[in-house]
Structure 1
Amino acid sequence: MSQLTELLSNQHDQNVEELKELLRIPSISSLSEHKEDIQKAASWIANKLESIGLEHVEIVQTKGHPIIYADWLHQENAPTVLVYGHYDVQPVDPLHLWETPPFEPTIRDEKIYARGATDDKGQTFLHIKAVETLLKVEGKLPVNVKFCIEGEEEIGSPHLPPYLSENKEKLSCDVVVISDSDMWDRGVPAITYSLRGLCALELSLKTANSDLHSGMFGGGVQNANHLLVQLLSTLHDANGKVNVDHFYDDVVELTEFEKEQIKALGFDEEKLKKSLGLTDLTGGENNNFPYAERISSRPTLEINGLWGGFQGEGTKTVIPNEAHGKITCRLVHNQNPEKIQGLVKNHLEKHAPKGCRLEVSLQDTGNPFLTPIDSPMIQKAAEAYETVYGKAPVYKREGGSIPIVSDFNHSLNAPVVLMGFGLPDENLHAPNEHFNLENFDKGILTICSFLELVKK
């Protein structure tokens, strides 16, 4: 480890400059005007992998943005580690809130500011540098390594699942490692062992064949807005619990160890309320669970959007004939997104008020993910963190969703380890995104340590 540390120290400035090159490429996957930039970023990654000694480097063109594959497979009878990451980034709006241009990487206070710095170019780059450093020092890797880096994560990875299904043998591995998450706090590493899944629905409620004059028809005909509010109010009971039949049937309760881990995080609810300008947090069903548990380990049903009737300035005395709503559910381990969609749809249709026509369309889904804490690969990751950071990581469930994680797990039948090196306050998806450089060399060393431990 001392040789690795010395080499990284000597090459720190050069490594950061290389990361800046990648960060300068505006590879925004959701905007068609950046299609050439996406190709440029894919080429940059592929060239870098080839230059450090990876083989079979390939830019796989899809109907969307490219996937990069590369490997080093020279350790007979050794495990194989597959590294996943993404080189696409979010749009930069609102631009005026950036203190420095989002694609001109700038270092301030030992942080590198740029779009993609922490999500996910910076963290993916750590794996590339870990492999390069090991090859320079040892002349070989302790295990076999494969890379799968895509350019569509920020738009839902539409073409990666088919690629995984069609290339199972090519991508076969003993563990998938992803660095697209965060630590618990500065100096406190964390392993995210669970992600919530999701499902979405949209509903349209219609009454008369047009909007009506509220003076001529008020009190005599149905108001679509009123009926929508009435319908949506049936989704939760008076205490805030989701009121959809069988919604909680498949929820697996946390173990005592998991509850203790969450409790040990010491979440400050009063500080949160103050920072958000709130006087209270959600109650009802959630009162039975600590805040850190209910935002990560309990399923939810949220109304995300409502519209209907007159939206302009001033008053328009109409009775709207249409009203619309959007719903998403965050789901936990063992819940099936398609099943929950069906339960919610059935509930809405069953409770639709008289005098309306209801249409419910099913939208996006994503499976929840969980790797048991006592999984051998999770424990090797924990040991690697402790070796470098001098502190055992905390184990946490994440309330958000990364559907592709579950796809890797199911398609390749391999455990997935989420080894994050970002920090929670690094503004991913927001203006002034950045990555703390204190986790740059430490992150590379931690990955090197993990690869060594996987061999044992």
Structure 2
Amino acid sequence: MSDLDRALAAADDSLDKSLERLFALLRIPSISTDPAYRNGCREAADWLRRDLATLGFAAELRETPGHPIVLAKQPRPDGPNVLFYGHYDVQPVDPLEKWETPPFEPRIAATKAGRQIIVARGASDDKGQVMTFVEACRAWKAATGSLPCGVTMVIEGEEESGSVNLPGFLEEAREELSADVALVCDTTMWAEGAPAITSSLRGLLYEEVTVRAADRDLHSGMYGGAARNPLHVLARIVADLHDEQGRVTLPGFYEGVPNIPEEVREQWRGLGLDAETFLGPIGLSVPAGETDRMVIEQIQSRPTCDVNGLWGGYTGAGAKTVIPSEAQAKISFRLVGDQDPAAIRQAFRAFVRERTPADCKVEFTGHKGSRAIQLPFDSPALAKARTALEAEWGVAPVTIGSGGSIPVVGDFKRTLGLDALLVGFALDDDRIHSPNEKYDLESFRKGTRSWIRILAALAG
């Protein structure tokens, strides 16, 4: 048997023990947003520290103004080194009455389709995912006495409350976190039995706009037709942000937007994510994005502009005939490729000012912007992970983008200069953040085996 085969066999042989360890971690109520569970967060962190120490990691708790970060190191000077990230904190359990059993009493159950599942708060997000990687390391140590490559783990306790102290920790510990690639497990599969690698995350820019006209709300019977209405002004500006083809009209908006490789587009085309399958379940049928792009492109690899709120004047019950003195809007941009949040902010504000009449004033409130993250499609690490996942699952993994943002991935790139492989084994029906959260037993078992293979592939 090869070392890889021995490690895979070790993981299978110790599945029951692996579940016992996962259940012990799941029993700890580590809700980071609620001060009442502060001790639970520390208990979970210390449990991980002690468990990792049994595997030969130099494991410690790094204190922060909030909850501690677990830092565990087992470097390998003669080979590649990876930085693994996960989190031990969980979401609140409310509404408690919706849980079929207590949320911190993990159990094995079965779905209506007969799949075995692990039910508990944190089973999928993110304790179950973290432990797939920990158990992969344990299997390698049991089978060969060592890890195939150097491993550093950062497991934080504030992901569910904004990761406010993680950027500062990464900056302070930059030299200790040196690695060749980052591994992030807090993602999903494409579907049951179909693994995925998330290779891109859209960036974000958020702006608030206020248009003011008269010094008070006006009677529309007395002033209507003569006085400027800020709602009319702002509505026209908002309407001008898109053309008839669904493209954003800001000058220079598409600078830095890449076209994805044709082979990736072909892969996406074969996934069957069309308007009917994606929009149908939410009661819609016609895509609103760029008309020359597939739905899957619109949500994963193309930039967007969305109005998140638009209001002004009287919004209560009944009628009140006023011309409001001001109107407000909240507008967000999802960014891709090399789009520059600062340049787009400047272009947006110039766009609004050009369309603001002389009798109106406009004010802006800006929020922090973040750039998009893109793992190069020709990345050797991506190719190795794809090969490893296909060997385990029997199907080629889908390389997908995410329409959302995962801030830690941007922090890894900006602070540590690391690209990140996002590989997770959760499913869309795992009910994360909801009552009766679950993690498929097969996701746990094959997730562990997948990480064993990925570590071997990265080690060459």
Q: Give the alignment's TM-score, normalised by structure 1.
A: 0.91
Match of 1:347 in 2: 351
> Distance between the aligned counterparts of 1:314 and 1:106, measured in 2?
52
> Are 2:274 and 2:295, in contact at CA under 8 Å, matched by a contact in 1?
no
Match of 2:419 in 1: 415
> Distance between the aligned counterparts of 1:305 and 1:96, measured in 2?
33
Match of 1:400 in 2: 404
Number of aligned pairs?
452
Cα separation, partners in 2 of 1:243 and 1:423, compared to 1, 3 Å: same
Matched, 1:260 2:266: yes
> Are 1:231 and 1:353, in contact at CA under 8 Å, matched by a contact in 2?
no
Matched, 1:137 2:148: no
Match of 2:11 in 1: 8
Match of 1:446 in 2: 450
Match of 1:58 in 2: 60
Match of 2:122 in 1: 116
Match of 2:113 in 1: none
Question: After the TM superposition, which of the residue ranges 251-260 and 287-296 deviates more from structure 2?
Answer: 251-260
> Are 2:6 and 2:143, in contact at CA under 8 Å, matched by a contact in 1?
yes
> Distance between the aligned counterparts of 1:317 and 1:144, measured in 2?
69
Match of 1:426 in 2: 430
Match for residue 328 of structure 1 among 329, 332, 341: 332
Query: What is the identity, as a one-letter code, of the residue corresponding to 2:25?
Result: L
> Distance between the aligned counterparts of 1:309 and 1:287, measured in 2?
35
Match of 1:370 in 2: 374
Tell me by how many angstroms 1:447 deviates.
0.8
> Distance between the aligned counterparts of 2:407 and 2:92, measured in 1?
20
Tell me by how many angstroms 1:225 deviates.
2.6
Tell me by how many angstroms 1:201 deviates.
1.0
Query: What is the identity, as a one-letter code, of the residue corresponding to 2:147?
Result: L
Match for residue 154 of structure 1 among 154, 160, 166: 160
Query: What is the identity, as a one-letter code, of the residue corresponding to 2:295?
Result: Y
Matched, 1:38 2:38: no
> Distance between the aligned counterparts of 2:359 and 2:20, measured in 1?
65
Q: Deviations over 1:210-259 (max 9, x none)?
A: 33344444444333333322222221123322111110121111121221
Match of 1:82 in 2: 83
SS of the counterpart of 1:132? helix
Query: What is the identity, as a one-letter code, of the residue corresponding to 2:18?
Result: N
> Distance between the aligned counterparts of 2:92 and 2:306, measured in 1?
25
> Distance between the aligned counterparts of 2:95 and 2:322, measured in 1?
35
Query: What is the identity, as a one-letter code, of the residue corresponding to 2:88?
Result: Y
Q: Give the alignment's TM-score, normalised by structure 2.
A: 0.91
Cα separation, partners in 2 of 1:166 and 1:229, compared to 1, 3 Å: same
Match for residue 25 of structure 2 among 22, 25, 28: 22
Match of 1:187 in 2: 193
> Are 2:203 and 2:371, in contact at CA under 8 Å, matched by a contact in 1?
yes
Query: What is the identity, as a one-letter code, of the residue corresponding to 1:88?
Result: D
> Distance between the aligned counterparts of 2:78 and 2:189, measured in 1?
33
Query: What is the identity, as a one-letter code, of the residue corresponding to 1:22?
Result: L
> Distance between the aligned counterparts of 1:178 and 1:30, measured in 2?
22
Query: What is the identity, as a one-letter code, of the residue corresponding to 1:414?
Result: L
- In the alignment, structure 1 segments of 5+ residues that lack a partner are none
- Aligned-pair Cα RMSD in Å: 2.3
Matched, 1:290 2:302: no
SS of the counterpart of 1:117? coil
SS of the counterpart of 1:81? strand
SS of the counterpart of 1:295? helix
Question: After the TM superposition, which of the residue ranges 289-298 and 155-164 deviates more from structure 2?
Answer: 155-164
SS of the counterpart of 2:72? strand
Query: What is the identity, as a one-letter code, of the residue corresponding to 2:73?
Result: D
Match of 2:310 in 1: 306
Match for residue 171 of structure 1 among 165, 169, 177: 177
Cα separation, partners in 2 of 1:401 and 1:225, compared to 1, 3 Å: same
SS of the counterpart of 1:202? strand
Question: After the TM superposition, which of the residue ranges 313-322 and 62-71 deviates more from structure 2?
Answer: 313-322
